[in-house]
Structure 1
Amino acid sequence: MTVERASADDWWRYLGSLFRYSRFDDSDPLAHESRAEIYRAVGDDPGISLSELAAATDVSLSTVRHHLRILEEETLVHSEKIQGKRCYYRADATDEVDIALRTALEKPATRRILEVLAERGPAQTTTLADELDRDPSTITHHLTTLADAGLVVREREGPAVISRLASDVELPTE
């Protein structure tokens, strides 16, 4: 009796799989309503995080994580860890400087540093710290992160380190 039950369960699992997405057939990964909604949300807000996606789509974190894994396997979405945060982008959003810039502009501290560098031009860390009323070590931390992302160039001039916006970085005008 248990053998028949196991085979019946297997049969229902097989039938259920016929009506779901599978990476092994030609089914459309965006045919699933929640997955399509997550894909749209990523397109509407490039650089969105997992928790922001869950809030925007009203889908649980574990479900969002599952659908993102499928979207990444299908190369419809890719993710990058930027400034300690995993950010999701549609596959057609591949400009790394643009992605890093959007992420930096979302954070008030790095946004303000970029704005001051755009307004004033190249500056020493202490000058930026005075201008922003922050500790120089905090400014150094943010400048290092921005330099790693390719948004800021830091050059030593004698004892001072001068920071400036990278030549391909343009802040959006609002």
Structure 2
Amino acid sequence: MYRRPLVTALVALLVVGLFAPPVVAASGADDEGATLTAPVGFESPEIDRYRSVVLSSGLSRADTEGILEQRTRKAVYAAIRESPGADLATLADAVGVTKSTVRYHVDLLRDAGLVEAAEAGGALRFAPAEMNADLAAATSAEPTDAVLEAVAEAEPASVRDVAAVTGRAQSTVSHHLSTLAERGLVERERTGEAVVTRLTDETRAVVADAPIPADD
């Protein structure tokens, strides 16, 4: 006596299963392999801004092969190779995208080991991993580049010598020289009552726009 209602219920469930819309699981911000598809009319750089919300911040959980296949990322890397020591604003102008887009792609390039960063002139600057990022940053930032040029002109140069050439206060020059010495770009030694500064061979080659001597 209960067979007919049971059959009716099973048929109803089958119909619902056939015609109900599929349920799509939401992907969280930490899901691996989460992607965004560009809506019609959206350019790749615009989508990159939103993709950064979905993807994880690094590549530790992702396959780094083909990292340069993405068009905007490839252009950012090319701009870094073209102008080692460039900051985010310079790269954004070169590629024609926003600074936030450049920052996103640079972070991925750094995680992949293709790009290094160093601070100079109040900004973070970038260089290909095979280059000395500190040196690229220092020679690209106006304040530190001017100090290095002054040292090259008067070396062994005292703080007073560099201050006279650059027109900067001795305290400012001393700060820059100390930072450059910490990064291994200049060598400082005391001679009598003065501390004099010399460029390292690598720094001198770059400041003189000459090829960096190869290691023996």
TM-score, with normalisation over the residues of structure 1? Answer: 0.73
| Matched residue count | 167
1:5–1:82 distance in 2 versus 1, CA, 3 Å = farther
* Offset, 1:102: 3.0
Q: Residue 24 of structure 2 is aligned with which of 5, 8, 20?
A: 8
Q: Percent identity between the aligned chains?
A: 33
Letter of the structure 2 residue corresponding to residue 50 of structure 1: L
Q: Residue 153 of structure 2 is aligned with which of 108, 119, 124?
A: 119
The structure number with the bigger radius of gyration is: 2
Letter of the structure 1 residue corresponding to residue 90 of structure 2: E
Residues 120 and 144, structure 2, Cα contact 8 Å, conserved in 1: no
Alignment of 1:140-159 (within 5 A): 140-159=174-193
Alignment of 1:75-94 (within 5 A): 75-82=113-120, 84-91=122-129, 93-94=130-131
Q: Residue 84 of structure 2 is aligned with which of 43, 46, 50?
A: 46
Residue 72 of structure 2: aligned partner: 34
Letter of the structure 1 residue corresponding to residue 135 of structure 2: L
Task: For residues 69-122 of structure 1, give each alpha carbon's deviation from its aligned partner in whole angstroms, at most 9, with x where no partner exists.
Answer: 22223223232334543222223x23x2xx333322223333333223223221
Q: Distance between the aligned counterparts of 1:128 and 1:15, measured in 2? A: 53
SS across alignment from 1:8: coil
Give the aligned CA root-mean-square deviation in angstroms: 3.6
Letter of the structure 2 residue corresponding to residue 172 of structure 1: A
Q: Which has the higher helix share?
A: 1
Residue 137 of structure 2: aligned partner: 103
Q: Distance between the aligned counterparts of 2:167 and 2:33, measured in 1? A: 64
Residues 138 and 144, structure 2, Cα contact 8 Å, conserved in 1: yes
1:86–1:164 distance in 2 versus 1, CA, 3 Å = same
Residue 214 of structure 2: aligned partner: none
SS across alignment from 2:86: coil
Task: For residues 141-165 of structure 1, give each alpha carbon's deviation from its aligned partner in whole angstroms, at most 9, with x where no partner exists.
Answer: 2211221222221212332212222
Higher RCO (CA-CA < 8 Å; seq separation 6+):
1
